[in-house]
Each structure stands twice: as structure tokens, then as C-alpha cells.
Amino acid sequence: MRLLVLHGSSSNLGDTAMLEGVVLNLLRNLPAAELFVADRPGVRTNLWDLPRVHRQLIPGLVFPYEDALTEVRYLWRYDGRWRRAVRQWVALGLGRIFSAKAISVPALATATSKHTLHELCAPFDALHMVGGGYLTDTFPELLVQVSCLAQAFVEQGKPILLTGQQVGPFQSQILQTLAGRLLRCARFAGLREPTSSVELCQRFHLDPKRFRVIGDDSFGLPCSGQAEISACLAAHRLEPGKFLAFNVRVGPYAGGHGKYLQFIARLAEELARAFRLPVLIVPIAFNDVDSDDRSGEELLNLLRHTQARRIDSDHLTPGLVRGLLGKAFGAIGVSYHFCTFALSQGVPAVCLHEGDYYSQKARGICGFWQDDRLAISLQKADISSAVEHISTLLQDSPWRAKLGQQARFAIEDWQKIFDEQVQKNFGSQHPFMASIRQERAALPARLSP
């Protein structure tokens, strides 16, 4: 079996944690499968060293009519925005006006032949889409690309499985329609939050048996070993359970966070003073456009009255950052995975949010962990109420103990549902997979993939 694994990961430890969690569990569930994992710019992982894992280039796609439409007189001058709009409109025609055979893949073309999306997907037997927050118009190009790839698999009658997904938010009706089509193509869609994602799946009229809240795909990734975690803490002169972790991010999709840096700095200082604990600033994303390292350095420079340190992303892996956050007394930050890493190990975390994209993430965290105290709107909060809010949560010992148990159950539940769905849709008992084995057994050995 040849399985294509798509994801939204780039230079982001949270996205990479989901990717590694899924791949490790696919390898365990499918011992005879070869995994072809999309190789996206900025991905930093050791997955390529594993047996049966291969890098797979996913080149750019060119739609029929796209070049003609983007060169329309007068409109060509708006090149970037106009081209993106054209791609979204034309993508709606896939599967209705034209098929995947009509989408060309220039990067694979030769002097004598043109390659199509249909041909790109033909060697693979199934598609697994790793979780994340990319089924939204916040990242329109990625949504168009994965929708087209999924449609190619549908046209070839091959199974598609999604896990750990956040769906939305949407402002574009076109992209919302594309996302709905993609989800209806899937044999199963596992969601990571029980709020807006569930509401959208219901609005898309998905069969209730074909979607379910399973939690985040990072639940499938174990933490680094205790020796590595302890060494990292010691290098930063920190003790387990005796520091507060903070995270902040400013980027194109999180631009509003920039005006709250001073607020977050005051919050960190007040909490550090109240609990007499040092602050550790922990990055999750390290792309050029949304660097937690850069934002963290700005925050560190604002912390003049408390003991604070910043750990650089160069020294972190997904397993190590999860392990470090599991040793914090509490975690306060804007990153969804920063909070999820802490909560999934029984450490209280509060998501600071602003804007539609992060507000949905914050609501999802509160919904999944069943406590509205886990989020604070930066637009509505003041320092005194925020300090009191977080202090009360961090000192709630009975709730902290309950969270630890809830985290164990959440990880076990993710594992159970993931295994069930992979075996059901990709396993040897599925009729489609049985037919693949029969077809390949009939091929001469020199032709077999």
C-alpha cells in the first residue's frame, strides 16, 4: 500500500507534532504500507530517517482557463489578488466542469509530455490528511491545493481520511464551499474541537457517522525522554513545576496580537510576582512571517521587573517542547498548540486571543477541555481581572487533578478512534485495499510498485 500523507506543517512545532504523531501511528497500524509524506518548506523533523517514510514533492497546480483569465485586459495589473481570486473560482469547477486530468502539474512536465494532477495521484492508494487549522480561508492557497488533491483521489475511487482538523472560520463563501466538498469526500473526518468545527460539518450536511471530535493529532506524539527534558530545564536554571510558561505570536493572521505585547508583559510580571516564579518564553512557530522567536524577544525586552528567560526554537523539537510545557506550573499564551501541549499533560493553560481565527481556537480549547476559564479575550480584558482570573485557575488544586485524569482519557480516546478509523478505511479488511492486493499480486514482479 502506498499512502499519501498531506499536512499544513511548515516551521511550526505544533504542526510538526501533529504530523509526527500521525505518521508514527500510521506506521504502527499499517506495517506493510509505504508512507509518502508531503515535503513542505520549513518542515523540521526526523521522520525522513524512518523506514517506509518517503519525501513527496507536491508541486504547484495550474487550472484550465487560469492563464487566460489572469491575463484579461485591465485585470492582469492586479496580478497577485486577481490570480488568487481566479484560482478559487476555477477550483469550484473541479469535479463538475472538468476533472483532475485537466489540471496540469508543470513541475513534472517533460519535453515530450505534460503531467496532470490525475497522474500525480495515480501511484497512491489512499490519502490521509493530518490535522491542523488549514481548512479555512485564513490560508486560501493551501485549502485550494488540498481540495484539488482530494478530488483527484475521489475520481480514482480511493479512500480519504482526515484526523485532528479544525474547520473554519470562513469569510469567503467560495472557500467555505470548497471545504464542505472536501469533507463530504472523506470516509471519515476527525475534528479537534467540539464547537465551530462541529457546527460547520452539520451545516455541510455531513453524515453524522462520518465525523466525530477526536482531539488533536499531537496526542499521538510522545514527549521526549525525562533526561533530555531535565537537561533543558537545568540549562535554563529552572525546576519542574516552578516556572510560568508564556508564548506570544505576531504575524499576518495574528496581527492584532502586536498591540497587546505591553499588556501580556504586564500580565507576566504580575503573575510572576504573585506566585514568586520565573517566566520562560516558549516558541511554537518560527517562520519568517510569524516568528515566536522574534515576538518572544520583544516580550522579553518588556519584562524589566521579573526573572525571565527565552528559549530559542533552534533548541526545540516537538517532543521536547511538549515535555517542557508539561513541567510548567501554568502556561499562558496565544498559540493553540502551546496551550494544548500543556493541557494534554495536566498543566493549566489559558489561551489569550484576538481576531476570528484565534477566537475559534480559544473557544475550541474551552469546549474540548470543558472549562470556559481556559481563554481570555485580549480585546475585553484588563490587567487586574486577567491576573485574578488566571491566579484562581492555577490555584484550583481539585480542578488541576481532574485535568490530569481528563488528559489521559483524551489521549486514550484519540488513540482508540485513530486506530479504528485507520484499520476500517486503510486496513487489510477494507474491500478497496483487498482489491489492490489482488491486482498487484497479478502483476509481474518487475512492474509491481
**Could you tell me which of 91, 101, 62, 66 has the C-alpha nearest to residue 182?**
91
Same domain, 214 and 241: no
Same domain, 118 and 189: yes
Domain CATH code at residue 102: 3.40.50.2000
| 403 lies in some domain | no
Beta bridge partners of 294: none
Same domain, 12 and 96: yes
Reported pTM: 0.92
| 402 lies in some domain | no
pLDDT tens digits for 315-373?
Answer: 899 999 999 999 999 999 999 999 999 999 999 999 999 999 999 999 999 999 999 99
Q: DSSP characters for 362-396?
A: HHHHHHHHT-GGGEEETTT--HHHHHHHHHHHHT-
Asked whether the beta carbons of 319 and 221 are under 8 A apart, the reply is yes
Taken as a whole, the chain contains a residue count of 449
Where residue 288 falls among pLDDT bands split at 50, 70, 90?
Answer: confident
Q: For the chain, state the CA radius of gyration.
A: 23
Tell whether the model's pLDDT for residue 377 goes beyond 90: yes
Question: In the 8-state DSSP scheme, what is residue 254?
Answer: S
Asked whether the beta carbons of 193 and 218 are under 8 A apart, the reply is no
CA dist., res. 431 & res. 435, Å (int): 6
CA dist., res. 319 & res. 228, Å (int): 10
| 163 lies in some domain | yes
| 30 lies in some domain | yes
Tell whether the model's pLDDT for residue 79 goes beyond 90: no
Beta bridge partners of 245: 280, 331
Give the CA angle between residues 297, 299, 304 to the nearest 5°.
Answer: 105
Structure confidence at residue 81 (pLDDT): 63
Same domain, 348 and 314: yes
Domain housing 344 = 226-395
What does pLDDT average to over the chain?
90
**Could you tell me which of 131, 132, 120 has the C-alpha nearest to residue 158?**
120
Q: Taking residues 390-402, what's their average pLDDT?
A: 98
Crossing angle for the helix pair 356-369 and 196-203, nearest 10 degrees?
100
Helices of type H across 215-284: 226-235, 261-275
pLDDT tens digits for 177-194?
Answer: 999 999 999 999 999 999
| 318 lies in some domain | yes
| 449 lies in some domain | no
| 404 lies in some domain | no
Structure confidence at residue 434 (pLDDT): 58
Tell whether the model's pLDDT for residue 89 goes beyond 50: yes
Q: Cell for 70?
A: 489572469
Structure confidence at residue 70 (pLDDT): 47
Same domain, 195 and 248: no
At residue 191, what are phi and psi to the nearest 5 degrees?
Answer: -105, 150
Question: In the 8-state DSSP scheme, what is residue 309?
Answer: E
Spell out where 24-159 has E strands. 34-38, 53-56, 126-129, 132-135
| 400 lies in some domain | no
Same domain, 241 and 390: yes
Q: Cell for 307?
A: 526573572
Q: How many domains does the chain have?
A: 2
Same domain, 116 and 241: no
Same domain, 155 and 297: no
Same domain, 385 and 437: no
pLDDT tens digits for 9-32?
Answer: 889 999 999 999 999 999 999 999
Same domain, 373 and 416: no
Q: DSSP characters for 207-248?
A: -GGGEEE---GGGGSPPPPHHHHHHHHHHTT--TTS-EEEE-
Same domain, 200 and 247: no
pLDDT tens digits for 272-283?
Answer: 999 999 999 999
Same domain, 194 and 47: yes
